[in-house]
């Protein structure tokens, strides 16, 4: 018996390949070989720091759970998968599965309805089971799509995390929070020292679509359209892309001539919302703007239109009684984490 491996006082780093093989064989010998493969036994032992006793308990618990909850069929979970709230993508070149949890779509679910949580959990289990058994490495990258949300669906995520951590230990290769950018990323990263090194390496924050392609190992064509920076494509059709950092006010200013009529409109990308104000400052009364300082600021001049509610889109027109600057003020100060992308449309012939 070699049950001492991995207990306090022994170093797993000092275990030889032969000792690890003996430990794997002994763990498998405690169960039916059809229930625990060599690769799965090795994964469980790595998670449990090569402690046979705790690894045995973990396997027992997982096998009991699997007996109660599997199989999960495609026909059962198809209605959930069709919502796009949970998506499986292609295996990447490194043999890792990639799947997406779309938080905004999960927020559209009525979790008070009987059975809804279980339906979505079983869809997640279907994905986890598929990737664990079909992708080359048996592990995955999880992309958490944060677009358009300020508060995540806590009740679902709590159960989702509990089920996957308990029954698919060691399967998570990396978790990507997207899109999350700006100063907040650096702030959160600076707090990761509190996590164990293994866990710390598995969490990252991605702000651009190009970085998401790099981190997942998938091409733009392999990722769903709602993850693509659709704003950039739309901007080429006559709009102008404006990025508003988290917890900031961004002023987009345009010079107008006397008598000019400006037709304008904007749309926030990705189901997000933002506060908006239109201001006009006549020539000779321009005030300095500090858009890149440490604190949120707003434009000078007189307010032409101010919306107290957060908006997804708005259109209007403006006639200049004198020459000056027309300021489009986008207020994202209520969001401490997520930057916003706005496509601004202007009738440029009138400027």
Phi, psi of 265, rounded to the nearest 5 degrees = -170, 155
Taking the C-alpha atoms of residue 251 and residue 274, their distance in angstroms, rounded to an integer, is 13
Contact assessment for residue 242 and residue 250, using Cβ atoms and an 8 Å cutoff: yes
What Cα–Cα distance (Å) separates residue 27 from each residue in 22, 31, 33?
9, 7, 10
Q: Residue with structure tokens 């490495």?
A: 137
Taking the C-alpha atoms of residue 342 and residue 240, their distance in angstroms, rounded to an integer, is 8
pLDDT at 6: 42
Identify the CATH class of 232-350. mainly beta
Structure tokens, 129:
């089971």
Contact assessment for residue 86 and residue 100, using Cβ atoms and an 8 Å cutoff: yes
SS (H, E, C) 281-301: EECCCCCCCCCCCCCCCCCCC
Taking the C-alpha atoms of residue 10 and residue 343, their distance in angstroms, rounded to an integer, is 59
Instruction: For the chain, give every domain's residue range.
Output: 12-69, 90-111+132-227, 232-350
pLDDT at 210: 77
Taking the C-alpha atoms of residue 16 and residue 1, their distance in angstroms, rounded to an integer, is 16
Taking the C-alpha atoms of residue 6 and residue 261, their distance in angstroms, rounded to an integer, is 75
Locate the DSSP E strands across 90-135.
97-102
> Of the candidates 274, 126, 144, 165, which has an alpha carbon nearest to the alpha carbon of residue 215?
144
First to last CA, the chain: 83
Taking the C-alpha atoms of residue 157 and residue 117, their distance in angstroms, rounded to an integer, is 10
The answer as to CATH 3.30.70 being correct for domain 90-111+132-227 is no
Taking the C-alpha atoms of residue 176 and residue 26, their distance in angstroms, rounded to an integer, is 36
Taking the C-alpha atoms of residue 325 and residue 249, their distance in angstroms, rounded to an integer, is 17
* pLDDT tens series, the chain, 351 aa: 344 344 333 455 578 999 999 999 999 999 997 899 999 999 999 999 999 999 999 999 999 999 999 999 999 999 999 999 999 999 999 999 999 999 989 999 999 999 999 999 999 999 999 999 999 999 999 998 887 776 788 889 989 989 999 999 999 999 998 877 554 455 555 555 544 566 667 888 887 787 889 999 998 889 887 776 554 555 556 688 888 888 899 999 999 999 899 999 998 876 678 999 999 999 876 554 444 444 344 445 688 888 889 998 999 999 999 999 999 999 999 887 677 888 899 985 544
Phi, psi of 47, rounded to the nearest 5 degrees = -60, -40
List the beta bridge partners of residue 276: 307, 330
pLDDT at 117: 96
Residues in the chain: 351
Taking the C-alpha atoms of residue 276 and residue 327, their distance in angstroms, rounded to an integer, is 10
Contact assessment for residue 55 and residue 20, using Cβ atoms and an 8 Å cutoff: no
What Cα–Cα distance (Å) separates residue 63 from each residue in 27, 168, 215, 230?
14, 11, 33, 44
DSSP alpha helix (H) spans, 201-348: 209-216, 230-235
Structure tokens, 239:
């709009």
Q: Residue with structure tokens 């000092």?
A: 14
Indicate if 232-350 has the same CATH topology as 90-111+132-227: no
Calculate the dihedral angle through the C-alpha atoms of 230, 233, 237, 243, rounding to the nearest 10 degrees. 70
pLDDT at 188: 53
**Which residues in 11-22 are b (16+ Cβ under 10 Å) and which e?**
ebeebeeeebee
Strands laid side by side in the 340-346 sheet: 239-244, 340-346, 261-268, 313-319
> Does 71 sit behind a cis peptide bond, omega within 30 degrees of 0 on the bond before it?
yes
């Amino acid at each position: 018996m070699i049950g001492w491996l991995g207990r306090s006082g022994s170093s797993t780093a000092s275990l030889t390949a032969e000792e690890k093989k003996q430990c794997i064989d002994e763990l498998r010998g405690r169960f039916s070989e059809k229930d625990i493969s060599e690769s799965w036994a090795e994964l469980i032992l790595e998670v449990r720091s090569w402690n046979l006793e705790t690894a045995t308990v973990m396997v027992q618990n997982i096998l009991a759970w699997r007996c109660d909850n599997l199989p999960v069929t495609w026909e059962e979970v198809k209605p959930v998968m069709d919502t796009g709230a949970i998506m499986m993508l292609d295996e990447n070149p490194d043999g890792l599965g990639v799947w997406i949890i779309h938080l905004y779509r999960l927020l559209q679910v009525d979790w008070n309805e009987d059975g809804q949580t279980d339906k979505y959990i079983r869809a997640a289990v279907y994905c986890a089971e598929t990737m664990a058994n079909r992708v080359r490495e048996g592990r995955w990258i999880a992309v958490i799509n944060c677009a358009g949300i300020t508060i995540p669906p806590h009740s679902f995520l709590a159960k989702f995390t509990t089920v996957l951590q308990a029954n698919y230990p060691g399967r998570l290769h990396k978790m990507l929070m997207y899109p999350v950018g700006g100063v907040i990323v650096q702030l959160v990263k600076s707090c990761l020292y509190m996590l164990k090194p293994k866990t710390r390496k598995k969490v990252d924050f991605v702000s651009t679509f190009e970085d998401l392609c790099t981190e997942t190992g998938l091409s733009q064509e392999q990722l769903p359209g709602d993850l693509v920076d659709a704003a950039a494509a739309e901007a080429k059709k006559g709009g102008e892309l404006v990025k508003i950092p988290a917890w900031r006010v961004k002023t987009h200013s345009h010079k107008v001539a006397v008598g000019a009529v400006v037709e304008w409109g904007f749309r926030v990308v990705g189901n997000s919302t933002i506060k908006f104000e239109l201001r006009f400052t006549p020539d000779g009364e321009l005030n300095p703007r500090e858009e890149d300082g440490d604190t949120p600021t707003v434009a000078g001049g007189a307010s032409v239109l101010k919306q107290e509610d957060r908006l997804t889109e708005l259109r209007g027109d403006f006639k200049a009684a004198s020459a000056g600057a027309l300021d489009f003020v986008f207020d994202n100060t209520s969001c401490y984490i997520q930057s916003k992308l706005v496509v601004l449309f202007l009738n440029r012939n009138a400027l």
